[in-house]
Structure formats: C-alpha cells, structure tokens
C-alpha cells in the first residue's frame, strides 16, 4: 500500500514550480504565424526567434534562474495544448477574458492595450453604433470578438490571421475591423487606404496562461513580472518595440458572464450545419459536370483539349485545396471580387472536379469497347453513343466512388473557415472557447456531421440498389 501511495503522493505534491526547476527550463508556447512583433523568426537569421515576448520570457526566466525553450503551437489550440501538458506557459498575446479565467490560471497583466476600430479612409461609419447592420472583421475568440457579439445588429466576419481582416477591409468586403492596438498599428494603419476611427473602444490586457494547479508557478511568475515592472525592464522592452503603453483597464461592470451551452448555441450549430451542407451539395453539383467535361475532354478531345484537361486535373489534385481557396478569395481579389460563400463553393467544386474527372474516366474506361462498337454499328453518333449507351453505364459504376467523395467533401468543407465562412467546425471551435469546454460542442459537432453523412450514404446505397433492381423484370399482369 505504502509502495503505491508514495509515488502518488509525490505526483500530487509535485508543484509547477518544482517541475520547471527539475526541468531547468520553462517551456513556453506561441504561434509564429502571429508574427511581428510578438514572436517570430528573425528575417536576417531565421534560426533565431525575436519579438517583445521573446525578450519578456528571457527576462522572466532570468529572474527565476531558469532557461527557456519555445514550443510552436497553433494559436487557436494553445489552451488545450497547455492542459495536455505540452508546455508550462502561454505567452502569445493571450487576452484576459472571463471565459479564459474560468478555465486556466492567468498571471498579472504584462501589457495593456486598447481595442481600436479601423475603417477605410473617409468612411462615415466611424463607431460601433454607426456600424449596426454592417460587416465588421476581427479575430475569432478574441476580446474584440466578444465586444462585437455584445452589439446586436453587427455582422461579424471572423479571420484566423491578423493580415486578412485589413485586406478584406481595403477590398470593401467589410466596413471596419476591431482589433487590439498592436495589431491595428502594425497590420491595419500601415495601409494607406485605412485610418483609425476610434482609438479606444475598450481596454484589455495580455496575460500569461498557466495550467490549473500550477499556483506556485503562477505566484513566482507574478512576482517576477512585478519586479521587472518595478525595475523598468518591461518599459524598456516595450520602448524597443515601439509599443505604446496604456494604463491598466478599469474593471468592466458590464462584463458578460461566460456563455453556457444552451439552446441558442445549438441553434448556431444547426445554422453552421446548414452552411456545411449547402456548400458541400453545391460544390458537388459543380464538381460532377465539371469532372465529366474534363474526363470527356481527356478521353476524346483534340490534342490541346486533352492537354488542358490533363493539366487541370494534375494541377488541382496536386496542390492543397486550402491554397486554392486562399488564391480564389484573396489572391485574385483585385481582379475578381468573389463573396466568401461563392469562393468557398467554387474552390471546393473546382478541386473536387479534378477528382470526379478521374472517377468518371475510370468508369467510362471500364465499359467494354464492344459497347461503343455495337452503338456505332447501329448508326448512333459518338455523342449519342456517349449519352445513350456509355454514360448511363458509367454512372452506375461511378456512383459508389461519387458518394464517397461527397462524404469526404462534407468534411473537407470545414476548410472554408479560412476564408471567413462560419460552417459547422468553425462554429464548434468558437463555441468551445466561449463555454470553456470542447467536450459537448465537439460531440454535438461530430453527431451533426454523422447525421448528415450517414443519410447521404444510405441514400446512395438505395439509389445503387434501385439501379440494380432496374435489372429485374417488373411484374406485368398477363393480358386477358
């Protein structure tokens, strides 16, 4: 008994501080994609990390007498990865929100910022009140996102990176962007067509995130931060990076309570599922005729047509659909101004068209040559032979593969969140952050995907059976 209890007791007693001391270093995480000025690769020497948070952590680790090691982690998953134990601290522009406070431990603020509203130069919509009924961009799950959600009537457009919101604002896809002063200064106000409409919509602060139970490590971090602040070290770091310091935010009286997983959230999920289903079905409706044309072009076209069809198929199969969506939405935006939903359907449709082309081609090639010969011998033209004899047979062969692709498309459609479309998976991640739990939203999300894909599979199986049964003789009443 004592043999078992002893290591167990050690495990429980092992505090966060003791753990990092045993490691000899603090493992801290951020996302390099967040870029300048937080933590990013030195453009002159990409093997080195630079940024004000790098300097902050080095000063902090110095105070604690420890080394430090950076761990790259996708920004939106910093909290779950911390809870998993992948690292000890999150130091990456983590905003102090009530939702976050309920889930992990937070240090004292190390930087205070203002939420700033940026608009196109000369715009008349210069306040959140004026923006009622208009589109405002921000980062998903940020403090700004929370502020915007407290303003009914504003249509929120969510992004994953801090460059894209301002690019879409320039392109008139949105009418304003609400983000913190560091991002607004670096990424928004550096564009000549944009200007500041409200420099101080609200205040917020960056904090360091720690795992629950690491209270002594949090206390050590807090006193180290206090000492750095008192010695003017923090001030020197911010001055070096030209970051304007603001007084700490006044506690907000109207702070919304953390969201609960209620019917309203479920309604949002249903809406997200609707978007997922609509995008998938419309993209497939585009992919099938496109694939068929490509397959026919590749099999029967003249030299150049054949080459173009082949080139298209290899290009769209051989490059990531994510990249294709980016190019369609952001890359060609100066030439063709596609709305996000149209870009999503077109992008997925064009990508899946390449796969459908190969499915259709294989199905057509599986038909014996004798069928074409028999059709030709009857005097049918090549077009008639295709339409009346070959394609109806190919469709049967291709149906299982096409069903498979449609189900894959249903899930791949979650990629379109990178071009601001909120579909089921995106809704799940937003809700999960709001309600501080992934379990229920994740389960509901999975159930909804299954609820969509399973009936599709059943429907296809029924259709297949119908086509098979068409091979059976219908019962005919004997003539009297």
Partner 1 sequence: MIVRVQGLEKAHGARQVLRGIDAQVARCETIAVVGPSGAGKSTFLRCLNGLVSFDAGSVEIAGLSLMPRTPPDAPALRPLRARVGMVFQSFHLFPHLTALQNVSLAPLHVKHEPREAAEERARALLRRVGLGDRCAARPLQLSGGQQQRVAIARALAMEPEVLLLDEPTSALDPEMRGEVLSVLRDLAGTTTMLVVTHEMWFAQNVASRIWVFDEGRLIEDGPPSEVTENPRTDRARAFFRAVK
Minimum CB distance to partner 1 smaller for 44 or for 466: 466
* Pair 238, 394: CB distance under 8 Å: no
The residue written with tokens 């310091």 in the block is 245
Minimum CB distance to partner 1 smaller for 348 or for 386: 386
Minimum CB distance to partner 1 smaller for 102 or for 392: 392
User: In the complex, what is the shortest distance from the CB of residue 471 to partner 1, in angstroms, rounded to a whole number?
Assistant: 5
User: In the complex, what is the shortest distance from the CB of residue 268 to partner 1, in angstroms, rounded to a whole number?
Assistant: 46
User: In the complex, what is the shortest distance from the CB of residue 375 to partner 1, in angstroms, rounded to a whole number?
Assistant: 8
* Pair 464, 404: CB distance under 8 Å: no
User: In the complex, what is the shortest distance from the CB of residue 297 to partner 1, in angstroms, rounded to a whole number?
Assistant: 17
User: In the complex, what is the shortest distance from the CB of residue 399 to partner 1, in angstroms, rounded to a whole number?
Assistant: 13
Tell me: cis bond preceding 37? Omega within 30 of 0 counts: yes
* Pair 275, 423: CB distance under 8 Å: yes
Minimum CB distance to partner 1 smaller for 335 or for 479: 479
* Pair 212, 223: CB distance under 8 Å: no
| 346 DSSP 8-state letter | H
105 bridge partner residues: 210
Helix (H, G, I), strand (E, B) or coil at 180: strand
Minimum CB distance to partner 1 smaller for 334 or for 471: 471
Q: What are phi and psi of 352, to 5 degrees?
A: -70, -25
User: In the complex, what is the shortest distance from the CB of residue 474 to partner 1, in angstroms, rounded to a whole number?
Assistant: 6
Minimum CB distance to partner 1 smaller for 179 or for 386: 386
Which residues have C-beta within 8 Å of that of residue 133, sequence separation ≥ 6? 153, 154, 155
User: In the complex, what is the shortest distance from the CB of residue 403 to partner 1, in angstroms, rounded to a whole number?
Assistant: 19
The residue written with tokens 């970051």 in the block is 243
Minimum CB distance to partner 1 smaller for 192 or for 379: 379
For partner 1, the binding residues (CB under 8 A) are 368, 370-371, 373-382, 384, 388-389, 392-393, 396, 470-474, 476
User: In the complex, what is the shortest distance from the CB of residue 381 to partner 1, in angstroms, rounded to a whole number?
Assistant: 6
The burial class, CB within 10 Å (0-12 / 13-18 / 19+), for 65 is exposed
Minimum CB distance to partner 1 smaller for 359 or for 394: 394
User: In the complex, what is the shortest distance from the CB of residue 382 to partner 1, in angstroms, rounded to a whole number?
Assistant: 6
Minimum CB distance to partner 1 smaller for 74 or for 373: 373
Going by DSSP bridges, is the β-strand pair 176-180/135-139 parallel, antiparallel, or unpaired? parallel
Q: What is the DSSP string of 395-407?
A: HHHHHHHHHHHHH
Which residues have C-beta within 8 Å of that of residue 97, sequence separation ≥ 6? 143, 146
Distance in angstroms (rounded) separating the CA atoms of residues 13 and 23: 16
The burial class, CB within 10 Å (0-12 / 13-18 / 19+), for 410 is buried
């Amino acid at each position: 008994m004592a043999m078992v209890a002893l290591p167990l007791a050690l495990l429980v007693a092992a505090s966060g501080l003791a753990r990092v001391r045993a490691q000899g270093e603090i493992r801290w995480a951020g996302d390099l994609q967040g870029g300048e000025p937080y933590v990013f690769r030195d453009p002159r020497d990409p093997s080195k990390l630079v940024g004000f948070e790098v300097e902050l952590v080095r000063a902090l680790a110095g105070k604690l007498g420890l080394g430090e090691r950076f761990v790259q982690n996708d920004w939106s998953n910093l909290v779950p990865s911390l809870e998993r134990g992948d690292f000890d601290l999150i130091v990456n522009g983590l905003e102090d929100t009530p939702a976050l406070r309920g889930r992990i431990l937070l240090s004292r603020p190390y930087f205070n910022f203002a939420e700033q509203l940026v608009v196109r130069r000369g715009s008349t919509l210069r306040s959140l009140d004026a923006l009622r009924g208009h589109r405002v961009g921000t980062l998903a799950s940020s403090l700004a996102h929370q502020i915007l959600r407290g303003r009914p009537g504003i249509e929120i457009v969510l992004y994953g990176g801090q460059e894209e919101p301002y690019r879409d604002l320039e392109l008139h896809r949105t009418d304003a962007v609400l983000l913190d002063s560091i991002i607004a200064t670096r990424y928004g106000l550096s564009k000549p067509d944009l200007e500041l409409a409200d420099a101080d919509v609200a205040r917020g602060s960056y904090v360091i995130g720690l795992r629950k139970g690491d209270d002594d490590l949090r206390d050590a971090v807090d006193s180290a931060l206090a000492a750095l602040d008192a010695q003017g070290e923090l001030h020197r770091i911010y001055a070096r990076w030209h970051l304007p310091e603001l007084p700490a935010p006044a506690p907000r009286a109207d702070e919304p309570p953390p969201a609960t997983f209620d019917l309203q959230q479920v309604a949002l999920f249903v809406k997200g599922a609707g978007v997922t289903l609509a995008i998938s079905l419309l993209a497939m409706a585009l992919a099938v005729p496109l694939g068929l044309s490509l397959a026919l072009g590749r099999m029967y076209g003249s030299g150049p047509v054949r080459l173009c069809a082949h080139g298209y198929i290899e290009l769209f199969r051989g490059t990531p659909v994510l990249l294709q969506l980016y190019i369609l939405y952001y890359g060609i935006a100066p030439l063709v101004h596609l709305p996000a939903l149209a870009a999503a359907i077109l992008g997925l449709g064009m990508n899946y068209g390449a796969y459908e082309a190969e499915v259709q081609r294989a199905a057509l090639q599986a038909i014996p040559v004798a069928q074409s010969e028999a059709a030709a011998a009857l005097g049918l033209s090549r077009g008639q032979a295709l339409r009346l004899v070959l394609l109806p047979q190919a469709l049967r062969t291709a149906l299982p593969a096409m069903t498979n692709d449609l189900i894959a498309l249903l899930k791949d459609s979650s990629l379109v969140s990178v071009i601001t479309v909120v579909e089921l998976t995106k809704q799940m991640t937003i809700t999960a952050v709001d309600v501080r739990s992934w379990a229920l939203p994740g389960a509901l999300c999975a159930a909804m995907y299954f609820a969509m894909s399973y009936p599709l599979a059943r429907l296809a199986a029924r259709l297949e059976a119908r086509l098979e049964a068409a091979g059976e003789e219908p019962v005919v009443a004997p003539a009297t």
